[in-house]
Amino acid sequence: MSYKEATAAIRSELRVLHKLNPETARGFGALSKAAMEEGALDHKTREFLALAIAVTQRCEPCINLHIEALMKAGASREELGSALAMCVQMGGGPALMYAAHALAAWDEMAG
């Protein structure tokens, strides 16, 4: 399955889960919206932080969604590379493997 297909699949699965648990979905949505509001950090920086956590926590669906969001926020592949280097530094070998996944997702979605 491609990264684009995997991202579409998780969105579909989340819609089903949200219908089953609408209050939880609304609550998480409100939390996400509040966390992404610009303040001391701009939106792109916040997305890089979210991606770094996704890589080090090894959440493939999160990686895909935050790669997509970073592209929409105007991030560059070079900025992504710098952020992924920090993920590897902080997360060691497992982060290296998921950093490679994040870069592959970027390359596929950019193509």
Per-10-residue mean pLDDT, the chain, length 111? 94 96 96 92 96 94 97 98 94 91 95 89
pLDDT value for 86:
93
- Specify the number of domains making up the chain: 1
Q: In 3D, which of 90, 17, 9 has the Cα closest to residue 56?
A: 90
Query: CA-CA distance, 66 to 56, in Å (whole number)?
Result: 13
Q: Residue 21, SS3?
A: coil
Structure tokens at 8: 């579409």
Q: Which amino acid does the sequence have at 32?
A: S
pLDDT value for 109:
95
- Distances in Å between the Cα of 20 and the Cα atoms of 14, 56, 77, 100 are 10, 29, 37, 34
pLDDT value for 10:
95
pLDDT value for 26:
97
Quote the domain boundaries for residue 8. 3-110
Q: Look up the CATH number of the domain holding residue 24.
A: 1.20.1290.10
pLDDT value for 38:
85
